[in-house]
Structure 1
Amino acid sequence: MKKLILTTALTCCMGAAAQADVVVMSWGGSYGKAQTEAYVKPFAEKFGIKTTMIDADNPATPIKAQVEAGNVSVDIASLEYADAVRMCDEGLLEPIDASKLAPAPDGTPATEDFLPGALTDCGVSTDIWANVYAYDSTKFPGEKPTTIADFFDTKKFPGKRGVNKRPKAVLEIALMADGVPAADVYKVLATPEGLDRAFKKLDTIKKDIVWWEAGAQAPQLLADGEVVMTTAYNGRIFNAVADEHKPFVIVWDGQVYENEMFAIPKGAPHAEDAMKFLTYSTSTEGLRRSAQWISYGPARKSALKEDLLFHDGKTEMLPNLPTYPGNMKNALETSMEFWVDHQTELSERFNAWLAAN
């Protein structure tokens, strides 16, 4: 079965590569649409370079498979922070010279304009996004959920819960819901007792969980009434509300946020144009365009201005971003170091827990 999955990952994109000069792999749904509108279309128009966006549930998996097989068909990939660092360490990504990135409009070098942690050896942050939870307001006409603990309280707020089917962010949320301060989460999670505590908290709602794997599934589960609350990527919920007028509400308490990175796979067939695309998309103007399509925070200081509006020209984006001060009162930044070190073992533990009765 694993061989079949890897083969699919390798062959899914070969047709796209044959038809386009630059192939970008991202996460699909409203996020992929935002990147298409903010980066792909204007880049192709400005430079006359045909560019194609393709989707994956998690681009790290097919990119790793392609590079290891020496059959790379993707030029740019959108990767989670820990994946970008780990894959760089494994030699799967091209190094990026940050001094060659576009300066801010006032001439400030990119190395000074990007927020702390937004530049790595092989990756450049495109946005800061968050794992949050959201609920359908029509399901709770009285008291509303307001804390991360409420997500786990099925007596006070009955109904099914949607949860991402992997340990990252899920274990952190469980500990915060169990009373662990955000500042102590990774210290606790690094101990056997803390890990047991996180799974014990998840046990309390295990029978009520509906699992999702692709980001677009979370708002769909809410829309279809399969769950009354779900963990989700904050931008997916925002777009469901802003574009589709869904009655969903984000709870920012206990959010887990991190940088998303653009990276160039080792052996990318159009590496020079890929770097041109990366530089263009992570410019101040590029990041502002993206934030006008989805509520993920730009990773450059020069892009964070009060006049930032959603593409409807009316909705203010700053209050809807993970990094907005009002949304950061009980927030946790994902520890890249922790997940680079523990991803494999915790995934094995998580899968074993899933399989257990």
Structure 2
Amino acid sequence: MTKKVAVLALLSACATPLFADDSLTVVSFGGDNRQAQEKAFYQPFSASQGTTIRAADYNGEMAKIKVMADTGQTTWDVVEVETPELLRGCSEGLFEPLDWSRIGQQADFLPAAVSECGVGIFIWSTVLTYDATRLGGAPQSWADFWDLEKFPGKRGLRRGAKFTLEIALLADGVPQQDLYTTLATQEGITRAFRKLDQIKSSIQWWEAGAQPLQWLAAGDVVMTSAYNGRVTTAQKEGQPFSIQWNGSLYDLDHWAIVKGSPNKAQAERFIAFASEPEQQRDFATAIPYGPSNIHTLALLDAAIRQNLPTAPDNLANARAMDTEFWIDHGEELEERFNAWASK
């Protein structure tokens, strides 16, 4: 080997990245949420680790993840998932079990944020959102959402059984504490769909979190269900939107690693980084979702804390989604919902 070739080989070796693959594919629900993640997680992780984050969006469809896990052709590394999908996917072998010694101390997280295959990112709420300039008053509950005479106009709801069936039962007068015991019966399911029938012709079904606020801004709908963080972002941009926290439903989103990811160790490093209080502070500052690391709240300004789903006033009439219920009944109810919606 000539001296010149030897030097080039040495330089090449020194330039080799710390990890076998110096890129990581992270898949989220997109929109304002992704923008906040890029600012708080992706960009600083890339800067500190020399890792390129390939960001992608999806709508939570587990079918894509299942195909990857089943075929071994895994092209996604880290994915953002809701709680029922996380636990169901973990039991079905769609996600990698995590090495918590690489993530952090479990005691530093909310209990609901700790699981075998996932780490909670944030707490979010589905809230009733409306354009005060287009209504003759302020809706006080989901029952008002159904009042087409008092509040005429189109409504937006998430296309799917989860949250939609709960909202229908709340609108029909079911107390929050009885929500899932009612929905666990055939009579309760029938009651929820019967309630949805009442306004079916006035519903626009959204699938991506950005859609309901786009429709609200365009006047296509006068009120809608929406994710609280996206509403607050729209308010900061000057939109005259209001939130009704009464009857809100909250849950966590989690990081998970798709089974067969060739970059599992690096993915765990990313999750550990994104779970640090300082990074979660930056995320909650960019979009008001509640942090999962218990040491983060002390780092946030009071003005930000009051807009989080975890603020006492916002939690007063809120209901946590029943994860176990949706694990047990999710598939059958989603099938029934899709059949109903397509009629």
Report the counterpart of residue 40 of structure 1 in structure 2.
42
Amino acid at match of 1:308: L
Report the counterpart of residue 275 of structure 2 in structure 1.
282
Describe the shift of the 1:210–1:20 C-alpha distance in structure 2 as closer, same or farther (beyond 3 A): farther
Report the counterpart of residue 164 of structure 1 in structure 2.
158
In the alignment, structure 1 residue 233 sits paired with structure 2 residue 235: no
**1:162-202 Cα deviation digits (max 9, x unpaired):** 11110100101111111111111000000001111111111
What is the aligned counterpart of 1:218 among 212, 215, 219? Answer: 212
In the alignment, structure 1 residue 125 sits paired with structure 2 residue 127: no
Amino acid at match of 1:91: G
Report the counterpart of residue 138 of structure 1 in structure 2.
133
Tell me the distance in 2 between the aligned counterparts of 1:284 and 1:181.
36
Describe the shift of the 1:59–1:25 C-alpha distance in structure 2 as closer, same or farther (beyond 3 A): farther
State the 1:51 CA deviation.
1.4
Amino acid at match of 1:51: I
Gaps of at least 5 residues in structure 2 are 1-20
Tell me the distance in 1 between the aligned counterparts of 2:74 and 2:87.
19
- SS of the equivalent of 2:156 reads strand
- Number of residues of Structure 1 aligned to a counterpart in Structure 2: 323
Tell me the distance in 2 between the aligned counterparts of 1:84 and 1:184.
25
What is the aligned counterpart of 1:53 among 52, 55, 62? Answer: 55
In the alignment, structure 1 residue 201 sits paired with structure 2 residue 188: no
Q: Give me the identity figure in percent.
A: 45
In the alignment, structure 1 residue 328 sits paired with structure 2 residue 315: yes
Report the counterpart of residue 12 of structure 1 in structure 2.
none
- SS of the equivalent of 2:336 reads helix
Report the counterpart of residue 298 of structure 1 in structure 2.
291
Say if 2:88 and 2:327, in contact at 8 Å, map to a contact too. Answer: yes
- SS of the equivalent of 1:120 reads coil
Say if 2:257 and 2:267, in contact at 8 Å, map to a contact too. Answer: yes
Say if 1:131 and 1:234, in contact at 8 Å, map to a contact too. Answer: yes
What is the aligned counterpart of 1:251 among 215, 222, 244? Answer: 244
Say if 1:74 and 1:269, in contact at 8 Å, map to a contact too. Answer: no
Gaps of at least 5 residues in structure 1 are 1-18, 103-109, 310-314
State the 1:355 CA deviation.
2.5
Report the counterpart of residue 6 of structure 1 in structure 2.
none
Describe the shift of the 1:87–1:57 C-alpha distance in structure 2 as closer, same or farther (beyond 3 A): same
Say if 2:27 and 2:78, in contact at 8 Å, map to a contact too. Answer: yes
State the 1:150 CA deviation.
1.1
What is the aligned counterpart of 1:261 among 229, 254, 263? Answer: 254
Say if 1:99 and 1:111, in contact at 8 Å, map to a contact too. Answer: no
Describe the shift of the 1:323–1:36 C-alpha distance in structure 2 as closer, same or farther (beyond 3 A): same
Tell me the distance in 1 between the aligned counterparts of 2:62 and 2:108.
27
Tell me the distance in 2 between the aligned counterparts of 1:240 and 1:59.
26
- SS of the equivalent of 2:112 reads coil
Say if 1:57 and 1:214, in contact at 8 Å, map to a contact too. Answer: yes
- SS of the equivalent of 2:286 reads coil
Report the counterpart of residue 77 of structure 1 in structure 2.
79
State the 1:64 CA deviation.
2.1
What is the aligned counterpart of 2:303 among 316, 320, 327? Answer: 316
State the 1:349 CA deviation.
1.0
Report the counterpart of residue 190 of structure 1 in structure 2.
184
Amino acid at match of 1:231: S
Amino acid at match of 2:246: D
**1:281-316 Cα deviation digits (max 9, x unpaired):** 0111221111111111001211112x524xxxxx92
For normalisation by structure 2, the TM-score amounts to 0.91
Say if 2:77 and 2:264, in contact at 8 Å, map to a contact too. Answer: yes
Rg larger in structure: 2
More displaced 10-residue stretch of structure 1: 53-62 or 228-237 = 53-62
For normalisation by structure 1, the TM-score amounts to 0.87
Tell me the distance in 1 between the aligned counterparts of 2:85 and 2:193.
23
Alpha-carbon RMSD across the aligned residues, in angstroms, is 1.5
